Amino acid sequence: MYYIGVDIGGTGVKAGIVDENGHILYKESIRTGAERPYSEVIVDIAGLCQKIIDGMHLSIDQISAIGVGVPGICDPKTGVIPFCTNLGWHEVPFIADMHKYFPGIPVFVDNDATVAGLAESVAGVSAGTQSSVFITLGTGVGGSIVINGRPYSGSHGVGSEIGHMVIRMDGEPCTCGKKGCFERYASATAIIREARRALPDHPESMIAELCENNPDKIEARTVFDAAKEKDPLAVRLFNNYVKALAHGIVNVINTIDPEIIVLGGGVSNAGEFLLEAVREAVKPFIFYKTQPYATIQLAQLGSDAGVIGAAMLGKQ
Amino acid sequence: MYYIGVDIGGTGVKAGIVDENGHILYKESIRTGAERPYSEVIVDIAGLCQKIIDGMHLSIDQISAIGVGVPGICDPKTGVIPFCTNLGWHEVPFIADMHKYFPGIPVFVDNDATVAGLAESVAGVSAGTQSSVFITLGTGVGGSIVINGRPYSGSHGVGSEIGHMVIRMDGEPCTCGKKGCFERYASATAIIREARRALPDHPESMIAELCENNPDKIEARTVFDAAKEKDPLAVRLFNNYVKALAHGIVNVINTIDPEIIVLGGGVSNAGEFLLEAVREAVKPFIFYKTQPYATIQLAQLGSDAGVIGAAMLGKQ
C-alpha cells in the first residue's frame, strides 16, 4: 500500500507517493496560485494527487490515505481549516472537499511544521525516537512536537507554536500581537534585522563587504559567513542569536523534555558551526545538571520533509 | 482495593489511604526530620505507611500500590532519586528500599508538583479532562503536565519544570543559574520582592500600612489586599504580576495546548480576584484568535493534592 503526501505552500504545491517507510517513490509539483479562490486551488490539488497516482500507474485502491500539510491549522474534529493566512483560506471544509474527489480514502490535514517534524521522526534524524521537537528556523520559527510517536498539536490543535513562546517579555514586537516571541530572536529575519541595525555603526565589518554595502542584500548566511571568519560584529550577532536559540531550546527541554530536538529550516544550513555553538550554549542552562537531556541535531530531509510527513499522517 | 499516597515535604511527611476515585479515607503525618540521613528518614516513611494500613485495619494484600511525591525527580528507569535538594538526598535507591518493607507492592515515585496536578485531574477541578497543566504559585513555581490522562514528565523525567521556562531573557537571576525564569515573576516571592523594592518610594501606599512599615512582614496577600482596595502602588504591582503570569500561561497554551490550566499554590488563594484578571490578560495574547483554547481555573484540593496524586500514581 502507498500513501500520498501533499505539501501546500504559499507559492507551490508538492505531492508525492510515499511508501510506509517514508521514502518518496514519485513526486510532482504545481504552482499554488494562491491569489485565486480556494474553490479553484482545491481542484488543482485534487488533480495533482490524481496525476501522481496515474504517473506511477497505481489504482486508487492502492492508496491507503492522503495526508496534507498546510501553513495553518485544521480542526481535528470538523476537518475544517479555520484559516491559512498565506493562502487566504478562511473556514474551508478541506477534508470534505477532498473526499468528493477521493471517496473512501481517509484524508488527514495538519500544520506544515508539525508534518515536517513527523517526517524526521519517521525517516530522518529522529527516526526511532518516541518523542521529538522539531524547530524550523526560517523566515519565522515553526514548531512540531511528536509524543509517543504521534504528532502532538494539543487539545484544540493550537499547540506546538514554539515560535510564539515569549522569551523576552516586552521585547521585539511580533506579528502575533505579543512582544518578545522566540521567533523574533531565532528566525533568519531576526539575524538580518540585527545586522541591519548594527551595520551603520560598523562600516568596517566584513558584513558590509559581503553585502556590498547594501543592507538589503544581507542574509542570515552573510552573518554566519563573516562570523566563521571571526569578524567582530558578526561574532557578536552570531553569539546573540545562539543565546536566544539556546533559551528557546532550554524552555522546550524544561517543559516537554523530548528525546531529541531537531533544528531545520534555512538557518540550519549553517550546519555544524551553528549546532556546536548551540549545544555549548544550552549546557549551562540545564536545570538537572547531572541528568541526561535531549540531544540536539540538524534535520536531514530538507525540502522533502513536507511531502514525507504529510504522507505519514495517514500511517498514524 | 486501596492505594497509599505519600507526600514528602521538607518539614513533614503525609500519608493516606486513598480509594480509586481519589478520596482520602485515612490520613496520618509525621515530621520529616530532613536533617537526618536518608537511611533514617526512609525507616520512618515505611513506618508511617504501615501505621495507616494498621490504622484502617487493612491487610497488606488490600493495598494495590504505593505512590510517593518528592520535591525532586525520580529516574523512571532505575527507581533512583538523583537528588532532592530540600531533603539532602543524593542518588538514593528509593523504590528498591521501599520494596524491602513492602515486597510485592508496586511503588511509584514522581515530582510533587506533577503529583498535585495528577490529583486535580483525577479528583479535582480538572477531573474528566485528558490533558491539563497545573501551575503551583508558591515560594517558587512548580508545574505538572497531564497528557492522555497520565502524568507527563518527558523522556528523561526532567520536563514539566514550567517555573524554569525563561520569559524575560537577561531578567531576574534565578536559583537555577538562568536569568528571567517564569518563577522569578510568577511566585509569591516575586510579588514580595517587587513590593519591597517599590515601598521606599511609596510610603503613602496602603502596603506600608498593612505591613506596619516593616517590609519583612509583606506577603503576597498584603499586595492583593491593597490592590483590591485600589491602592495605586498595589494595583501596579498586581498588574505586573498578572501580566507575567499571563505570559507563562500563554507560553503553555502555545506549546502544550492543554484542555485546562489549573492555578494552585498559596498565591491562588487570591481566588476570583486573581483568576478574572489573569483570564483577561491572557485573551489578547492568544495566537489563533477564533479557536477555542484552555480554560483557566483555580485548584480545588488544596494541601490534600499531594497525598491524593501520589496515590493515583499507582492507578495509572
Smallest CA–CA distance from A261 into chain B, residue: B155
pLDDT value of position B213 = 94
Reported as a pLDDT band with limits 50, 70 and 90, residue B308 is very high
First CA to last CA distance, chain B? 14
Reported as a pLDDT band with limits 50, 70 and 90, residue B25 is very high
Q: Pick from B110, B242, B257, B285 the residue to mutate for testing the A interface (most A CBs within 10 Å).
A: B257
pLDDT value of position B61 = 95
- B314 close to B106: Cβ distance less than 8 angstroms: yes
What are the φ/ψ torsions at residue A225 (nearest 5 degrees)?
-60, -45
Instruction: Judge if B147 and B291 occupy the same domain.
Output: yes
Q: How far apart, in whole angstroms, are the C-alpha atoms of residue B266 and residue B262?
A: 13
B83 contacts in A (CB within 8 Å)? 290
The number of beta carbons lying within 10 Å of the beta carbon of residue B272 is 8
CA distances from A306 to A97, A110, A200, A311, A312 (A): 21, 11, 39, 9, 10
B159 contacts in A (CB within 8 Å)? 253-257
Q: Pick from A251, A289, A290, A291 the residue to mutate for testing the B interface (most B CBs within 10 Å).
A: A251
pLDDT value of position A130 = 95
What are the φ/ψ torsions at residue B202 (nearest 5 degrees)?
-135, 65
Q: Is B85 exposed, middle or buried (0-12, 13-18, 19+ CB in 10 A)?
A: exposed
For residue B144, is it within any domain?
yes
Whether residue B165 and residue A293 make contact (CB cut-off 8 A), yes or no, is no
Q: Is the pLDDT of residue B50 over 90?
A: yes
Instruction: Judge if A148 and A295 occupy the same domain.
Output: yes
pLDDT value of position A138 = 92
Out of B82, B156, B293, the one facing A156 most closely (by C-beta) is B293
Whether residue B176 and residue A287 make contact (CB cut-off 8 A), yes or no, is yes
Instruction: Judge if B178 and B94 occupy the same domain.
Output: no
pLDDT value of position A79 = 86
Helix, strand or coil, per DSSP, at residue B76: coil
- A111 close to A102: Cβ distance less than 8 angstroms: no
Residue B61 is part of which domain span? 2-112+304-313
For residue B125, is it within any domain?
no
Characterize the bridge pairing of strands B24-31 and B12-18.
antiparallel
pLDDT value of position A169 = 98
Whether residue B73 and residue A288 make contact (CB cut-off 8 A), yes or no, is yes
Residue A55: which of A31, A29, A20, A32 has the closest Cα? A29
| CATH number of the domain where residue A150 is located | 3.30.420.40
First CA to last CA distance, chain A? 14
For residue B117, is it within any domain?
no
Beta bridge partners of B12: B31
Q: Is the pLDDT of residue B309 over 80?
A: yes
Whether residue B162 and residue A243 make contact (CB cut-off 8 A), yes or no, is no
pLDDT value of position A82 = 87
Instruction: Judge if B144 and B292 occupy the same domain.
Output: yes
A85 contacts in B (CB within 8 Å)? none
Averaged pLDDT for residues A275-290: 94
Q: Is B44 exposed, middle or buried (0-12, 13-18, 19+ CB in 10 A)?
A: middle
Averaged pLDDT for residues B98-117: 95
User: Residue B265 gets which letter from DSSP?
Assistant: S
E strands present in chain A: 2-8, 12-18, 24-31, 63-70, 81-84, 89-92, 107-111, 132-137, 141-147, 150-152, 260-264, 295-298
- Residue indicated by cell numbers 555553538: A277
A161 contacts in B (CB within 8 Å)? 254-255, 287
Smallest CA–CA distance from B157 into chain A, residue: A257
Whether residue B158 and residue A257 make contact (CB cut-off 8 A), yes or no, is yes
Average model confidence (pLDDT) for chain B?
Answer: 95
For residue B226, is it within any domain?
yes
Nearest chain B CA: its distance from A128 CA (Å)? 13
Q: Pick from A132, A165, A283 the residue to mutate for testing the B interface (most B CBs within 10 Å).
A: A165
B177 contacts in A (CB within 8 Å)? 284-285
A182 contacts in B (CB within 8 Å)? none
Instruction: Judge if A145 and A285 occupy the same domain.
Output: yes
pLDDT value of position B44 = 98
Instruction: Judge if A44 and A191 occupy the same domain.
Output: no
Q: pLDDT of A99-135, one tens digit each?
A: 999 999 999 999 999 999 999 999 999 999 999 999 9
Q: Is the pLDDT of residue B230 over 80?
A: yes
For residue B15, is it within any domain?
yes
Q: Is the pLDDT of residue A85 over 90?
A: no
Whether residue A155 and residue B83 make contact (CB cut-off 8 A), yes or no, is no
For residue B121, is it within any domain?
no
What is the identity of the amino acid at A139? T
Q: pLDDT of A15-54, one tens digit each?
A: 999 999 999 999 999 999 999 999 999 999 999 999 999 9
A232-247 CB burial, b ≥16 within 10 A, e <16: ebbebbbeebbbbbbb
Helix, strand or coil, per DSSP, at residue A176: coil
Nearest chain A CA: its distance from B256 CA (Å)? 5
Instruction: Judge if A147 and A115 occupy the same domain.
Output: no
Instruction: Judge if B73 and B189 occupy the same domain.
Output: no
Q: How far apart, in whole angstroms, are the C-alpha atoms of residue B24 and residue A98?
A: 52
Q: Is the pLDDT of residue B311 over 90?
A: yes
- Residue indicated by cell numbers 492508496: A63
- A311 close to A25: Cβ distance less than 8 angstroms: no
Instruction: Judge if B139 and B284 occupy the same domain.
Output: yes
Give the number of C-alpha atoms closer than 13 A to the C-alpha of residue A78, restricted to the C-beta side: 12
Smallest CA–CA distance from A148 into chain B, residue: B155
Reported as a pLDDT band with limits 50, 70 and 90, residue B130 is very high
The number of beta carbons lying within 10 Å of the beta carbon of residue B62 is 12
Out of A75, A250, A257, the one facing B155 most closely (by C-beta) is A257
A165 contacts in B (CB within 8 Å)? 165, 251, 254-255
Whether residue A252 and residue B255 make contact (CB cut-off 8 A), yes or no, is yes
Q: For the ranges A76-80, A90-94, A223-227, B274-278, which has the lowest average pLDDT?
A: A76-80
- A196 close to B281: Cβ distance less than 8 angstroms: no
Instruction: Judge if B79 and B138 occupy the same domain.
Output: no
Nearest chain B CA: its distance from A121 CA (Å)? 15
- Residue indicated by cell numbers 470534505: A96
Instruction: Judge if A266 and A284 occupy the same domain.
Output: yes
Helix, strand or coil, per DSSP, at residue B284: helix
Out of A131, A147, A153, the one facing B257 most closely (by C-beta) is A153
Q: Is the pLDDT of residue A160 over 80?
A: yes
Whether residue B256 and residue A258 make contact (CB cut-off 8 A), yes or no, is no
Residue B263: which of B254, B251, B275 has the closest Cα? B275
Q: How far apart, in whole angstroms, are the C-alpha atoms of residue A144 and residue A301?
A: 15
Q: For the ranges A173-177, B40-44, B231-235, which has the lowest average pLDDT?
A: A173-177
A151 contacts in B (CB within 8 Å)? none
Nearest chain B CA: its distance from A297 CA (Å)? 16
For chain B, the domain total comes to 2
- Residue indicated by cell numbers 528525546: A259
Average model confidence (pLDDT) for chain A?
Answer: 95
Q: pLDDT of B171-205, one tens digit each?
A: 999 989 999 999 999 999 999 999 999 999 999 99
Q: Pick from A90, A131, A166, A247 the residue to mutate for testing the B interface (most B CBs within 10 Å).
A: A166
Q: Is the pLDDT of residue A180 over 90?
A: yes
Out of A159, A169, A255, the one facing B247 most closely (by C-beta) is A169
Interface A:B, Cβ pairs < 8 A = 155
pLDDT value of position A316 = 78
Whether residue A247 and residue B166 make contact (CB cut-off 8 A), yes or no, is yes
Q: How far apart, in whole angstroms, are the C-alpha atoms of residue A56 and residue A40?
A: 25
A75 contacts in B (CB within 8 Å)? 291
The ipTM is 0.92
Instruction: Judge if A191 and A94 occupy the same domain.
Output: no
Quote the Cα angle for B106-A132-A169, to 5°. Answer: 105
Reported as a pLDDT band with limits 50, 70 and 90, residue B316 is confident
- Higher confidence at residue B76 or residue B43? B43
Q: Is the pLDDT of residue A290 over 90?
A: no
For residue B47, is it within any domain?
yes
Smallest CA–CA distance from A81 into chain B, residue: B291
Q: Pick from B114, B131, B152, B254 the residue to mutate for testing the A interface (most A CBs within 10 Å).
A: B254
Whether residue A176 and residue B287 make contact (CB cut-off 8 A), yes or no, is yes
Whether residue A154 and residue B257 make contact (CB cut-off 8 A), yes or no, is yes
For residue B225, is it within any domain?
yes
Sheet of strand B141-147, all strands in order from the earlier edge strand to the far edge:
B150-152, B141-147, B132-137, B260-264, B295-298
What is the identity of the amino acid at B235? V
Reported as a pLDDT band with limits 50, 70 and 90, residue B144 is very high
Mark out the alpha helices in chain B (DSSP H runs): 38-55, 94-101, 112-123, 183-186, 188-198, 206-210, 220-228, 232-255, 272-282, 305-313
pLDDT value of position B72 = 86
pLDDT value of position B118 = 95
Percent of chain A with pLDDT over 90: 89
